[in-house]
Homo-oligomer: A and B are copies of this chain.
Amino acid sequence: MNFSSSLLENAVNELAKLPGIGKKTALRLALHLLKKETSEVEVLVGALSKMKHEIKFCVRCGNISDSELCNICKQSSRNNGVICVVESIKDVLAIENTQQYNGLYHILGGVISPLDGVGPDDLTIDALVKRVDDEKVEELVFALSPNIQGDTTIYYIGKKLAGKKIKITTIARGIAFGGELEYADELTLARSIANRMPVESYVNY
């Protein structure tokens, strides 16, 4: 594409590096910004720069935070006895949006995946074990990706915690609400039959 301006070309190339943004979308965004007031562009640019430079990670759970402890760890109304173990910040946001969980979190930073070069030492597993020891944790709820890597990670951490008096659970897996049986993959369907549950507990939810 001939942009007739290297400034525009640079901006488009940089925007196109973002996930899910191709050259055409990048051009649309750049031309949109060109039409906007300089102050509005400054606000966007400033927000991105400030976020990158000033954002902190909670020293306790690894969640993003504006201060040393994140808002969730700071809340006194939270149940400190339950820790939900997730892969990333995105998962915390997803679970928080359900407004159904009142415990704390622990962000692993991924799952054990030797093929991708991610070993246990690349994750915050040691910090999690330390929290279990220090914080009177009664239950760990694993909310990891439902695949081999996720299961391996749960198994590995379970081994590490062997002998400690702690309940280890994982979020329920099965057919999604609104999902149709015939389109469910075999593994999901097989697991959801194996882990069938009494109707009362289903209705009570």
Copies in the complex: 2
Are B7 and A18 interface neighbours, CB within 8 A?
no
We find that the number of chain A residues with CB closer than 8 angstroms to chain B is 57
> In residues 14-44 of chain A, which contact B (Cβ within 8 Å)?
14-15, 17-21, 25, 27-34, 38, 40-44
Least CB distance from A130 to B in Å reads 22
A124 at the binding interface (Cβ < 8 Å): no
Least CB distance from A54 to B in Å reads 6
Are B14 and A43 interface neighbours, CB within 8 A?
yes
The secondary structure that dominates the A interface is helix
Please give, as numbers and ranges, the residues of chain B lying within 8 Å of A1 by CB-CB distance.
93, 97
Are A51 and B34 interface neighbours, CB within 8 A?
yes
Are A97 and B4 interface neighbours, CB within 8 A?
no
Q: A1-B93, A17-B44 are in contact. List 9 more A-B contacts (CB 8 A).
A: A2-B93, A4-B96, A7-B51, A10-B47, A19-B28, A19-B32, A31-B89, A33-B51, A38-B52
